[in-house]
Each structure stands twice: as structure tokens, then as C-alpha cells.
Structure 1
Amino acid sequence: MDYSFDFGAVTRNLDPLFRGLWITVQLTVAANAIGLTLGFVVALLLLSRSAVVRMPVTLFVEFFRCTPALIQIVWFFYCVPLIFNVFLDSLTMGILALGLNLTAFNAEAYRAAIQSVPREHLDASVALGLSPLQRILHVVLPQAVRASVPVLLTNGVGIFQQTALVAVVAVADLMYEGKSLATVTYRPIETFTTVALIYFAVSFPITQFVGWLERRRELAMAR
């Protein structure tokens, strides 16, 4: 192979990648804020005894879980303005698409965690005279969050990686800036290797932390 590697062409132009990383972090944080809050609400609706409430929410969850995130992003970017006459910037569209996608996956994590809350705890909260809202906030929510933290963190890492998909709608995230830099420098191998290492450097510590949480939880349950 006659190809001569030159990572200097990338290291001399790291500023665009760091700007893109900052956009990626914003997308990730905003999508997680949506997914963590709405996910719990959707999980409660999934457990509703009313089919009128439960069926539309189930359809929402299954739609976002069973269609590619790339299609969802493109749909929000192109179809929402045409159908609903709502015009938002591409970054906001990306946040909404990723946030709703994460909401669907987090809702399933929350639902499983809520169903694992011991019935005795709910009975005790009723005996203490807590209102339904107080039972949710002070009994169900803390235990559900604690039980689902590893899955929620894993989903959060996954959405960090999926932010790369917004590059197709011209959001200047890390992937978009990497593509631009590769075009300018004619160094796609070096550029995308560097981009991959940046994604890895951010994701790896979190995945290790998730593994540590799971091991600690298993030890606590074994006692």
C-alpha cells in the first residue's frame, strides 16, 4: 500500500472538531433531559388501566423503537415544516428527534423498574395517606430511577453516538465537522480515525461506570 499517513493534517485543524464536539454535547445533554423526564411520564401512561390512554402511548413508543433514528431525524427536518408549518432551526429539530427517540427507550426502562417496585411499599404509602402524586414522587420515582440507572446511562451513551446522524441534515456536530475536515484535507482515514477516538474517549468512561454500577447492584442484591 502506497498510502502515507499524515495525522498532522488533522492535529493542526482540531478546532473545528472541538466545535463540533461541543454541538454534539449540547445535543446529547438536551436529548437526555427530554428522554429522562418524558420517559418517566410515558412509562406511567403505559401502565395506565385505561386503553384509551395506553394505546396511543404504546403506538408512540413502538414507532420510535421500531423505526431507524436516521429516518426520524430526516422526517422531523423535512416533514414537520411542511405538515405543521412549524419552522425550527436544524439543531432544535435534531434535539427533538433524538429526545423523543430516547424517550421511547427510557420509557421501557422506567416501566420495567416501576413494575419491580415491591407491592408492600405501595400498600404502605396508601396506609400512610399519601396522595397518588405523592406516591409517584416519593415512593415510585426514587426506586424506579435507582433500578433503571444502568439502562438509562447506557441509553444516554447510545444517544451520544447517534448524534452523528444529524450530520445528514447539516447540523455542525462532530461528525459533520469531521466530514468537512476530511474533504478539505483529503485525509479521510486520519480524520475519521480521530473522530472515532473522540467518540470513544467520551463513551468509554461512561460505559465503565455503568458496568461498575451494575456490579455494585448485583452485590447489593446478593446480600
Structure 2
Amino acid sequence: MDYTFNFNAVSLAPLLKGLWVSLELTVAANVIGVVFGFGLALLIMSPFKLVRLPFMLFVEFFRCTPAIVQIVWIFYCVPMLFDVFLDPITMGVLALGLNLMAFNAEAYRASIQAVPKEQIDAGIALGLTPIQRILHIIFPTAFRASVPVLLTNGIVIFQQSALVAIVAIQDLMYQGKSLATETYRPIETFTVVALIYFAVSFPVTQIVGLLERRRQLLVS
């Protein structure tokens, strides 16, 4: 291969600027996913079919369609159908947040089902209302059990945030594509972009592994 590598041609400034946008999208989407994912889990566990069914369809839609299709649909169809025009970053957060809500809801649902019945019975005996039992018994227990999955889903959303480059949000991937075009150095540019994604994702995956090992030790 007659190719001379030149990583000096890759400017880190625009890539770090794009990384900041990617992190903003990721953090905001995770806030939506962690908070509203729990509420969504409660709704899909409702004993009333009319309440449960639409939210189950919502979860299945986001779990069974590609994230890139969801992003493009929200960016282009929502303004046309509902006459709602938001700035690109907000639209990106909305698309990623709704996707994460669906996956986190499933993680919460499994954890809620694993909450010991004795704890709920104790809450009833203490005279706690259903809302108080959810806030003080079910949510803390389910959240702790779900943390490894929530972290994994969160880092997946960070990686999927690269898809917003297709709708011209200037995230890390968008800046990488622009830089590769300007410098005619796609190999070096996308290698650096990949390493940046790895540098952010890898520590989180190690934390998830540590939490899983600790959990297994506690169980055994």
C-alpha cells in the first residue's frame, strides 16, 4: 500500500468541539431515559389493557426500528405533521431520549418484577400510599438493580449519537466527516474519531463489568 500516514493533519479542536455536542446529547438523552423510562415501565405494567397497550406499542416501535430511521422521522416528519419546529439539538435529544426510554423501560420492568413482595407488604403495613411505595420502595430497589443495564444503554446512546450527523447536527461524527473532506485524510481522521469514541466508552464498560461482578458476589 503506497500511502503515507500523517496524523498531524488531523486537528483536534473541531473534533473536541463535536465531542462536546455528542456528550450534551448523551447526557440530556440519559436524563430523559432514566427518569421517564421508569414511569414508562410502570405504565406498561398497568393491569388495565387500555392503559398498557399504547405504551407497549411505543416501546416495541423504538426497540424494533433502526435508530437512524427514528432520528430522520422525528427531524423531518414531526415538523410537517404537528407543525412543531425545534432547534436541531433539541430534536436530537428528543430522538435519542425516546429511544433510550424504550430500552430503559424494559430494564426497569425486569427490576420492578424482582422487587421482593415482602418489601411492598411492609410498605402497605406502614400505611404508605401507592405513590409513596413507588417512590420510597420500588424505585430505589429497581434503580439499584438496573444500574448496570442503564449504564450500558447510556453508552450505547453515546455511540448512536453519531447518527445525528446525518441531519447535520455538528457532533463528533459530523466534525470528523467535515475534517476528512477538508484534509483529504479520511483514514487518519476517522481513526482519531474512533479512538475518541473508544476513550469515552471503554471506562464506562469497565464500570459496568465491575458492578456486575460485585452484584454476582452479593448474590452468591
- Place the TM-score, normalised by the shorter chain, in its bin: over 0.9
TM superposition outliers: structure 1 runs of 4+ over 2 Å: none
Q: Does 1:99 align with 2:79?
A: no
1-structure distance, mates of 2:118, 2:45: 18
Residue 122 of structure 1 aligns to which amino acid in structure 2?
I
1-structure distance, mates of 2:184, 2:87: 30
Displacement of 1:43 in angstroms is 0.3
Partner of 2:87: 89
2-structure distance, mates of 1:146, 1:87: 37
Give 3-state SS (helix, strand or coil) of 2:9's partner.
Answer: helix
Describe the superposition over 1:65-108 as per-residue Cα deviations: whole angstroms up to 9, x where unpaired: 00000000000110011000001111111110000000000000
Describe the superposition over 1:99-158 as per-residue Cα deviations: whole angstroms up to 9, x where unpaired: 000000000000000000011111111011000010000000000000000000000000
Mind listing any 5+ residue stretches in structure 1 that lack a counterpart?
none
1-structure distance, mates of 2:28, 2:123: 34
Residue 107 of structure 1 aligns to which amino acid in structure 2?
A
Partner of 1:3: 3
Partner of 1:25: 23
Q: How many corresponding residue pairs?
A: 220
Q: How does 1:67-86 map to 2 (within 5 A)?
A: 67-86=65-84
Residue 53 of structure 2 aligns to which amino acid in structure 1?
M
Partner of 2:208: 210
Q: How does 1:53-202 map to 2 (within 5 A)?
A: 53-202=51-200
Partner of 1:45: 43
2-structure distance, mates of 1:163, 1:211: 23
Displacement of 1:166 in angstroms is 0.0
1-structure distance, mates of 2:89, 2:73: 14
2-structure distance, mates of 1:220, 1:4: 53
1-structure distance, mates of 2:12, 2:123: 55
2-structure distance, mates of 1:75, 1:172: 19
1-structure distance, mates of 2:4, 2:180: 15
Question: Structure 2-normalised TM-score?
Answer: 0.99
Displacement of 1:27 in angstroms is 0.2
RMSD across aligned positions (CA): 0.4
1-structure distance, mates of 2:49, 2:186: 52
Residue 139 of structure 1 aligns to which amino acid in structure 2?
I
Residue 177 of structure 2 aligns to which amino acid in structure 1?
K
Give 3-state SS (helix, strand or coil) of 1:102's partner.
Answer: helix
Mind listing any 5+ residue stretches in structure 2 that lack a counterpart?
none
Question: Structure 1-normalised TM-score?
Answer: 0.98
1-structure distance, mates of 2:198, 2:144: 26
Residue 126 of structure 2 aligns to which amino acid in structure 1?
L
